Every structure is written in structure tokens, then in C-alpha cells.
Chains A and B, each alone.
Chain A
């Protein structure tokens, strides 16, 4: 089974600060990590490999420093990494074409696994968009996956309905956070990962002259101003103050 996992490096949103004056988010200096749900995608890939054998290649479209993050994925159990730095300006059109280019470069594949969405942008566009571009079936929002030799079945959370879908290979599957618990690599695995290859490719070598179809005009801040009145002493007194305050706010009737 040749399995490809698409993984994105994102900023750790919980560490993000907002400039108190402009209310704009400060993106510089925020720690980077692999988007959580992409780790679930890799975990699922490892489970499939354990069952059916094969090879796992991780593809990341990201800056050169994402190499360190790819090493974490190699330690978890991926066999190879591919890193493609995007052009200065990019959108989902550019990213999906670079992913498709990198995947064609890898060659034969049976399953492409992605997280349902990245935790920074939370669009969920990259997976199904890539499936469309490659012209292969897609199974989205998988909560459990059962891969067999010549077909795969998945239970999907589609909001109002639970849908079970089956597909032959090749297929692209996006997984939810609930599908599994990503493993933590052992020290041996971390050390072993240093010997696994990371293939760095240039965007130009895959697809030349890609320019965005969507342009970011502005990143506006969101003001979240709350009263932050916290009662922390005597519980009975706290409760009576809270109930009085809520009554004054007109939300108790």
C-alpha cells in the first residue's frame, strides 16, 4: 500500500497574541507545529501500513524550517518526507497544485490521507480540492477507516447523518480528530528518524508560474472585550454577587 499523508505546518494558535492597540493578531514569533488533525491522518496511515504493509510518504508545502516538523512525523512512523516551499504569495489554488505536483513526482499511490481541516484556517478545502484536481474519489470527515487489499470503507460524520462510504483505490480520505489518538514516538524512533530521507523540491520544478487566484487584502483583528469580573473568595458571597449581576444585566427573568 503506497500511502501519502499531506501535513501542514501551522502556528500554535493557542500561543497567538493580539496586539492590544491595533487588535491585530501577532503572527511573528509564535511557535510552529504540525496541524493537529494532520497527525491523526498520519496515525491512520501508520495503522493501515501495520495491517497491509507498504510505504508512507509525508508531503508538506511549507517554509524550509518545516523540515524540523517533518522529522517528528518521520519519528512517528512515516518513511519519507517531501518538502516544497511555496511562492511568496499563495492560496488554495497554488497549494493544491503544488501538492498534486509533489504527489505525481512520488509516483504510484493508493491512499492520500489529509486532516479534515488545518487548525489555523479551518477551511477543509485542501483535501477535497486535491482529490478533484487529481480526479480521484474522495471520502471526507472519516471517523473510522477500514482498509483492505482492494477497497476501503469509512464511517463519516456528515453533521445530520452518519454515512458509510466504500471506495476502490486510489482514493483521498480526510479524517476527523476523533478517529484515533496519534502516537508519541519513542526515543529510538526519534533517533532513527534522522536517517530517513526528506526530499526538498522547488515549487518551480513542480509547476512553474503559479499565481494566486485569491488575494488576502487584510487580516483584521477581532476585539473580544469582556468584563472579566471574577469572584474568587467566599462561594456563597460569590454566587449572590453573580446572581445580582446577571439580574442587572437583564438575562435572568
Chain B
């Protein structure tokens, strides 16, 4: 059996598409996993998006702890005799998959950007060395655990006529010695850089928090409206919330146009935006790394360039 799981149902929908392809090729069933209360409508949704059946591991536990979830999965894998486990690659998913791999002492690959069967063995691709290479890896043992980030695969069109079985099971698991004391929604400005078509980003070249308004003005002028930033702005200075952060540990984006102002172009930042359509860099240092990754660049002080660029863009597109 092929298992698919994420606590983010949008990722589960996407994984079900690829999962069903692999399950068909192996002549096996594709099962979506739910850990929590029985949810008929969510189960039906998973079936509509390609699951052959849904395995509900019933529990009253409502906070996520990797220790306990991994324990549920050990039971589910044993019960269903599953050999391929595909987990959504958000932070919960990654620590769950890794711990589960340790519990079962099996192979695991995190953040796959593609998975397929080659010689009947699960094979994956993932980005390594800060985006400079792709590692093609293959499992020579089972079960095989992989995690796949959101938006790697598209979901299948929803087919409400699809039928499938809902399997319910309660497992006794060992409670973790850790305690969740508080869960608080991250401070967010409601920005979704991952879906943006045009992004204007700022970096350490900005001297004051107030100056970031220039980036917003340029974003507005260019009708992009989405502001991004490099690590120091979100993580160290906290001038913008983390939903603006683009880079290896921030968000990965692929807009049609990416403008980087005052960003030096550290490899960790490049890894987050290298798939953009057109990349524009503005930096006063002609040697800045960012120019190597840019289609167009202007060498100049952003405090002089940005106001002029804003008026020039307004003039051009009105």
C-alpha cells in the first residue's frame, strides 16, 4: 500500500495525484491517512482527489507532537503493510518523517522535488548545495519514506463520484514526555509571496525600517504589490514579518518578475528566488553576488535609484 499524509489538506490533495500514479504502477492501493477525529467529509474529499481509501487513526490528541504521531504511523504502517509513505513537507511533516524513519530504522528523503519509480524502486530528486545541484537518489529497501513540499505536484481534478472505503482504527500509543505549553499563530501580515506574480524585495542595504516604504511604493507602481525580503530584514531586524522572507529557510518563490534592492545575493537568498522569470538587481556594490544571478542590474545607491525608478515605472505604465 502507498500512504499519503499531511496535516495540510491542500498538500494532501497534491500528493494524492502523484501517489495514485505510483500506486497504479505498482498495482497497489493508495491510502490517505487522517490522524484525529473521524471526519467523513474530509475523508470523502480525499477519495474525490484520488485516494482509494482513507485510514483514520482515531485519537483525541489535538496538538501535534512528532513523537506521538510517529508512534501512530508505526502502527498504521504495520497494520496496512505499507511500503511507500509520502508525507507533506511542512515543518511538522519533516520532523514526523525523520523521527518515523529513526523509529523504523528505514530510508528517508526530505523535500523531494520529484518522485517516481525507476526499475520498480522509489526514486527521488531534491535540491542540494543551496540550489546548485539536484541529488537523484533511490531507495534500495522498504518501507521508503519521502516528504514533498507544497506546490511540487498539482492536484487531480476533483471527482465527487469516486467511491472508497473509510477504515477506522484506534491504537494505544506511548505518550511523549514532552508537553506543548502554548501554540500561537505567527505574526503575519497576510502576505503570500509564494503565489505572487511580481515581487519587490529588500535587504540589508536599507538603513531604516521607514525606508522600506520605497519598496512598497515600487511594488504598488509596478502593480505587483508583494513585498519580499532577505533574511536579516525578517529574522534579525524584524522590520517585516516572516511571511515576507525569501530564501532557503524562508519561502521559495517563482514570480514572473523579481526585483532585489539592497540584497547582496547570499547563496541562501538565491536558493529562494532562483526559479523566478526575470530577475532585476539594484545594488551599489558592482561586485555584489546578486548581479551574477540577475537578468538586469543597476549599479547605484538604492536611495537614489528607487525614487527615480518608481517615477519612471509610473510614467511608462501610468
Residue positions of A touching B, CB distance < 8 A: 11, 13-14, 16, 18, 24-25, 91-93, 96-97, 116, 119-141, 153, 157-168, 171, 176-178, 212-222, 224, 226-232, 235-236, 238-240, 242-243, 245-247, 249, 251-253
Contacts and interface: CB of A to CB of B under 8 A. Distances in A.
Interface string B256-277: 1100000000111000001001
A167 B102 CA distance: 20
B106 interface: yes
Given A93-B106, A214-B107, A243-B309, A219 B135 contact: yes
A234 B183 CA distance: 52
Given A25-B132, A227-B295, A251-B256, 11 more contacts: A13-B132, A18-B132, A124-B98, A127-B98, A128-B95, A132-B103, A138-B66, A165-B178, A222-B132, A235-B304, A238-B305
B300 interface: yes
Interface residues of B, number: 89
B313 interface: yes
Contacts of A239: 298, 305, 308-309, 312
B293 interface: yes
Interface stretch (B20-28, B42-50, B86-94, B207-215): B86-94
Interface stretch (B33-41, B136-144, B151-159): B136-144
The 9 tightest CB contacts between A and B, nearest first, are A132-B102, A213-B107, A132-B99, A128-B98, A232-B299, A230-B297, A129-B102, A133-B102, A167-B178
A239 B221 CA distance: 15
A232 B301 CA distance: 11
Contacts of B123: 217
Interface in B272-318: 274, 277-281, 286, 291-300, 304-305, 308-309, 312-313, 316-317
B61 interface: no
A253 B101 contact: no
Nearest to B127: A222
Contacts, number: 269
Given A16-B132, A216-B135, A230-B291, A163 B183 contact: yes
Interface string B92-131: 1011011111110111111100000000000101011111
Contacts of A131: 67, 99, 102
A124 B110 CA distance: 8
B88 to A, nearest CB: 12
25 contacts: A13-B267, A25-B132, A25-B133, A97-B105, A120-B128, A122-B128, A126-B98, A128-B99, A129-B98, A129-B108, A164-B183, A212-B107, A214-B107, A214-B109, A215-B138, A215-B140, A217-B123, A220-B136, A222-B134, A224-B274, A226-B279, A230-B299, A238-B299, A238-B305, A243-B313
Given A217-B137, A228-B291, A235-B305, A128 B66 contact: yes
Contacts of A229: 295-297
Interface string B57-73: 00000000011001000
Contacts of B132: 13, 16, 18, 25, 221-222
Given A167-B177, A252-B222, A231 B136 contact: no
Nearest to A236: B308
Contacts of B169: none
Nearest to B198: A251
Nearest to B96: A128
